[in-house]
Amino acid sequence: MALLIGLLSTVTVMPLVAQPTYAPNSTAMLYVSCVGWPGGNPVYPCFLIITSGSYAVTSNGHTRSGSYHPTPIPSSAFRPSSNGTQVHSYGFILDAPQTYIWLKAGERADVPPNAPTDIRRMIGHDEYLSACAQICSSYSYRVGWTDIYWVEEKPEWIHVGQTPQHQNSNSYNHWMTSQAAYGIWYTAKAFLLRFPSQGKIAVNDMALPYGGLFDIAGQWEPSHWNHYRGKAVDVAVGSGAYGIPDSNANTFVDTCVLTGGAMYGQVETTPLHIHCEWY
C-alpha cells in the first residue's frame, strides 16, 4: 500500500506541486488516502498514522542542526476534523477512499515542554506532514511570509552582521519587504548626498528569509524582536567599515523618517547602532 497526502485543490497533480508557503496562522485543508500499489487506487480500510514535524536541519537560514544551535522548533498542529482538537500525531482506521485534515500553519501551542507560542518562533521553517500506512509518504511546506525579499548589496551599502546562528553568511540576514527596502535605499542616497565623504553605509540585520525569530544570542529566544517581519534594518555606527559617525547618527535617523518614509528610527546602544523601521 502506498499513501498520498496533498492539497485538496490540486488533487490531480498533487505529488508534483512545489513546496508551498503557508502564512502564519493560515489553515490548509489537505487530504489523505491509502492507495494500492501498483495501480494507485484507494484501498480501505487501512490503519494510518499522521504526524507533523519540522526538519532538524537548517532551512531558510533559520535553524541549525548540531549541539551548538539545535533546532527547538516543533511542528505545526493539525486537526483531524474541521472542529476537532489540534494534535501533532494521530492514528486511526481510515474507512473511506480519503479523509481530510486541517493544518494550522505555525500553530505549536500544545507542544511540551517548550510550548513556544510566541509567533515569531513559528515562522520561516520548512516542515512536513508524514502519513504512514505500511509505508510512509510526506508532504513538505514552509511557514512564512512571501512578501519578504532578498536585498542585495548596492553602491550605497555593504552587508555586515553575519553570525554563526545564521550560517555565517550575509545572505540570510538581509531580507525585507519592498517598502522597507526602498525606504532604506532612499534614506541611504539622501544621506550620502549630504555626507559624500561617508562613501557608503553598512547595513546590518534586516530579517531572515520568510521572516521569523531572528536569533542573535544562540538561544533561540525572542530578542531582536522587531526584525521578525522584514520591516526593520540596523545600520552600523562607529569605527567599523563604513560606520556612520556618532555625530551624524541622529541625522540618519531623521533621514529614515523624513526621506525614507520610516515609521520611526532611533539610535540604540549595546551595541551602538541605528534602527529604522517601516510600517
- Whole-angstrom distance, CA of residue 214 vs CA of residue 261: 24
How, if at all, do strands 77-79 and 2-7 pair?
unpaired
Stretch that binds Zn ion, among 61-69, 89-97, 195-203, 267-275 (CB under 5 A): 267-275
Our CB check for Zn ion shows the closer of 215 and 234 to be 234
Our CB check for Zn ion shows the closer of 174 and 275 to be 275
To the nearest 10°, the Cα dihedral for 59, 155, 146, 278?
120
Q: Does 127 bind Zn ion (CB under 5 A)?
A: no
How, if at all, do strands 126-132 and 21-22 pair?
unpaired
Minimal distance, residue 217 CB to Zn ion, in Å = 14
Minimal distance, residue 262 CB to Zn ion, in Å = 12
Q: Does 174 bind Zn ion (CB under 5 A)?
A: no
Residues ≥6 apart with Cβ < 8 Å to 155:
200
Our CB check for Zn ion shows the closer of 74 and 212 to be 212
Stretch that binds Zn ion, among 15-23, 40-48, 63-71, 232-240 (CB under 5 A): 232-240
Our CB check for Zn ion shows the closer of 32 and 207 to be 207
Task: With CA atoms as reference, report the closest residue to 29 among 141, 145, 134, 146.
Answer: 141
Our CB check for Zn ion shows the closer of 40 and 218 to be 218
CA angle 186, 146, 181 (to 5 degrees): 10
Minimal distance, residue 6 CB to Zn ion, in Å = 40
Q: Does 234 bind Zn ion (CB under 5 A)?
A: yes
Say how many Å lie between the first and final Cα of the chain, rounded: 51
Task: Choose, by CB under 5 A, the member of 116, 275, 276, 278 that binds Zn ion.
Answer: 275
Minimal distance, residue 241 CB to Zn ion, in Å = 19
Stretch that binds Zn ion, among 62-70, 174-182, 214-222, 268-276 (CB under 5 A): 268-276
Residues ≥6 apart with Cβ < 8 Å to 36:
1, 2, 42, 43
DSSP 112-156: TTT----GGGGSS-EEEEEEESSSEEEEEEEES-TT-EE---BTT
Residue nearest to Zn ion (CB): 275
Applying CB under 5 A, the site for Zn ion has a residue count of 2
Write out the residues near Zn ion by the rule CB under 5 A. 234, 275
